[in-house]
Amino acid sequence: MTVTTLIIIDDHKIIRDALRALMGNTDGMSVIGEASDGRAGVELVLEKKPDVVLMDMGLPLLNGMEATRQLRERGYRRGIVMISMHAERHLVRGTREAGADAYVLKEYAFDQLPLAIAAASRREAYFSPQLGELDGDVAGLTGSLTPREREVLQMLAEGSTAKQISFALQLSSKTVDVHRANLHRKLMAGTLADLTRIALREGIAQL
């Protein structure tokens, strides 16, 4: 029997344990690694090269959409399944554009994941049927942001200082300031609290 290897990336251990148990009871599936944040997850996937990645959208340090984008940019060409509580159409489309093969709503995950994994392993699309059609979607407020601006926005919203952002992303402090100014301008946000509210609403950050 052909075995599909999986890596689970989710910041909640109880979810990782539940997914590991589910996959353990599914013929032909094998979990070969876990990570609890987006940055560690990207490095683990590139190291172990699983057939399919199960990726939570709301990850700390680097959210699922940006982790997916980085995996594709760094050459990972196998399946990615996004698991999310968010059903907003622009988030689903943005995840698809970032490179995910499948998008499964968390409340239906245990029933739909085997189907999504099977599709993603063939690099075919799968979306929770409850999402409906994606045609005619409109971009969310953050649709005009660059990938780097979204990374900075997430870190700001989750409480990182400019110095911490500079160190984590290997950017100069001046460049971080430029990104922050661009965020305030593009999102029409006057304060850090405004940026945080937008990031939480758009699924970019979590507290």
Q: With 0-12 CB in 10 A as exposed, 13-18 as middle and 19+ as buried, what is 88?
A: middle
Please name the residue that has the structure tokens 């609403």: 201
How far apart CA 174 and CA 90 sit, in angstroms, is 31
Q: Provide the pLDDT for residue 132.
A: 67
What would the CATH number be for the domain defined by 141-201? 1.10.10.10
pLDDT at 67 over 60: yes
CATH of 4-131, one of 3.30.465.10, 3.40.50.2300, 3.40.1350.10, 3.40.50.300: 3.40.50.2300
Q: How far apart are CA 201 and CA 196, in angstroms?
A: 9
Candidates 117, 129, 141; CA nearest to 200 is 141
Task: Give per-residue pLDDT as tens, 116-142.
Answer: 999 999 999 999 988 865 444 445 567
Task: List the domain boundaries for the chain.
Answer: 4-131, 141-201
pTM of the model: 0.75
Q: Using one digit for the tens of pLDDT, what is the confidence trace for 161-186?
A: 999 999 999 999 999 999 999 998 88
